[in-house]
Each structure stands twice: as C-alpha cells, then as structure tokens.
Amino acid sequence: MDRYIEAQQKAKRWLLQIDRFEAGGGIKAWLAPEKPEIEFVSAEITGYLVSHLTRSGNLASAAPIVAWLTDVAQDEAGFFRCRTYSRGAGGVFDSRGDIRWVFDTGIILKALLDFDQLSARDELVEPISMAFRALQTTSRGGIYPGWWNVGSADSEVDTSRWSSQPGSFHAKVDRSVVLASKSKGWQVSSLSSRLDFYLSLQRPDGGFISYPSTGGIHSHPHLYSCEGLWALAKLLGRTDLEAAARKGIMWLISAARGGVPPRTVFDNIQNFSQRCDVQAQYLRLLVAFGHHVHAEKAAEALLQLQSPEGCFFFGQYSDGRPCLHPDVWGTAAAVQALEWFTAQDVPDPIKLL
C-alpha cells in the first residue's frame, strides 16, 4: 500500500499549491499552458476543491475560495454561474448568460455545507439558504432540469448532452438538498417523485441511462447516480436506493476491462478512452461496496494517470488521444479514492466529493 499512500500524499501537496490553478478567486477546471484559451474557472470545480480542502482540515486555504463562490459566482436567484474564462475574456462569465447548470448548484451547496459545518461561520447561512431555495424552485413536475434559465425562470434542454437534461445523476443534487434540510430544518419538496424518477432510469442490467433519447450510457453520470443514491440511502434509510447503487456498480464491473470502466456505451459499443475522474469515482464505489479484487485493478489503472508532480491528468479525449491537462477535480477525487482504498474502515457516503 505504500505507493498508493505516496501517490495520495503527492496529489494532496499539489492541490495545496492553489496559486497554480486559481484565477480571480475561483479555481480552473484544468491547466493547459500550451493552449490557454481552453482554460476556464469553474464554479463547480471550485466547489469540489472547497470540500476537499475543508475535509482535509485546510480551512484557511478554503476560506477565500468560499468567498469567491458566495460573492462573485452566486447570482441573485441563488444559483451559481457556470464558468468564467481565466484568459482571453477579461475574467468575465461566459456567453451562456442566464443559463445555470442545476447540478453545479447542488455540488456547491454541499461545499458550503461542508465549510459551514466545520467553520461555524454565520455569513454562510444566507448563501446556503438561497441555493437550497433555488434548487426547490427548479423541481417542476417532480424532476430537476439540466439547465435553468434565470432570465425566463424556466428550464431548458439540450438532449445531445447528458448534463443539460433531467437525469438520475441529479441524485447527487438531492444528496446536498437532503443534507441541507437535515442541517437547517428546512422542508424538501417533491423528493419522493424525484427518487422514483432516478430509479426509473436504471435498466434491468443495472446501467443508468444518460441519454434517454438513445438509451446510451456515460460512466461519469452513471457513477454520479450511484454515488447520490448511496448517500441518500443512508440519509433516508432507504435500502432500495443502496440496492440500486450496488446494482449500478455491478453493471460497470461487468463492462470494465483491466480495471478500467468504459467511458460510454452506445448500442452495446464500448469506448474505453480513460478519464481520471471516472476512474477515481469507480474506485471509490468499488471500495465502498467491498469489491476488493476489482478495486486493486482500478487503483493500479488510476496511478497510471498521475504525473511526477502529483496531479492527475484528464486522461484521454473520446477518440483515444492523450489529454495531459492537469485536472483539479480529478486529482481531488483521486485523493479520496486512494484514501478510501488504503484505509481499513468503511467509507462514509456523506463525505463523497
């Protein structure tokens, strides 16, 4: 286990060098020195790093990033703006204008709850409340939309992208919503309908459909679905939700090759172009559900994506070409995956990044 512990320690040290990937207070999704026009600051990724730093006890490092989220990224409606380019656009938020990803706000809500719990700062009560209310506003007909337009106060859909339409991956949003409800004593609306919707997207073989129009599966949202349902199972005492999450991991195990899960499955055609975040997510749940032999293979495959400096590379483009951008969220997820892999205790789903 020594080399896995060394790998996680190197990655932790890299993540503490915040000046490498901070811009204007927010955190870049990845670094691309040779192609700076594709670097951008992401509120979602900033949220993941806040949770990582907070859970690692680095509250002083997390505090200014939290301030950026609440003072700059959060809008008047309570949502968080999507992204801002770190170079070439003057640091302003991009042309998506009034569009917000519901998933981003759910992830950042969890980050603010993490920081609030450990820092006990009263100034976060209002931003947390605003984000909670914003998410409740979007849940019409019992489901979250992928996109919410704050200008028209209505949902928008792009069926070509899994992230811009309703999906079972929004179970991870409800993980944050239920945590906020339990922490603050707030009422959650339409939760039962959303849980039924998430379960309805699971195929009989265990895969969670990412693209309802085609039946295709992308492992990234598939794993989000399993993560969210696992956490909600603990929060709500729902064994059926954990059973669905376990079934989802069994599907991915059956599809994996050499410890690497497929990136996508369309019409039974698998694409094995690797992503470090997917690999880390896969390892976390293998450990959580006791699949130790498969976890050893997955951990070995994850280490192949680590740089000598400690960060984890994105992995590959969808066509298989190497994508060597240092990935901030992927590195944070890899740290947690390796921590769980080398620990002897049972992981806590509430602590999932």
Residue 87 has pLDDT above 60, yes or no: no
Mean pLDDT value of segment 282-307: 97
pLDDT, tens digit, 9 for 90 and up, residues 235-246: 999 999 999 999
Sign of CA dihedral 154, 159, 164, 170: positive
Angle value at C-alpha 115, between 109 and 119, nearest 5 degrees: 145
Estimate the crossing angle of helix 102-119 against helix 171-184, to 10 degrees: 40
pLDDT in tens, 109-141: 999 999 999 887 788 999 999 999 999 999 888
Which residue is associated with the tokens 């512990």?
5
Task: Write the DSSP symbol of residue 151.
Answer: T
Reference 288, options 333, 250, 341, 248; nearest CA is 341
**Letter for the amino acid at 171?**
A
**Does the pLDDT value for residue 152 go beyond 70?**
yes
- The reported pLDDT for the residue numbered 94 is 60
Listed residue (174, 160, 190) closest to 224, CA to CA: 174
Summarize pLDDT for 182-209 with one digit per residue, the tens. 999 999 999 999 999 999 999 999 999 9
Q: Hey, what CATH topology would domain 2-343 get?
A: Glycosyltransferase (1.50.10)
3-state secondary structure of 145: coil
- Average pLDDT, stretch 38-66? 94
- Residue burial 26-53, b: 16+ Cβ < 10 Å; e: rest: bbbbbbbeeeeeebbbbbbbbbbbbbbb
Strands (E), 256-332: 264-266, 269-271, 313-316, 322-326
156 pLDDT band, cuts 50/70/90, is: confident
* DSSP character at residue 349: G
Highest mean pLDDT among 94-98, 110-114, 142-146, 161-165: 110-114
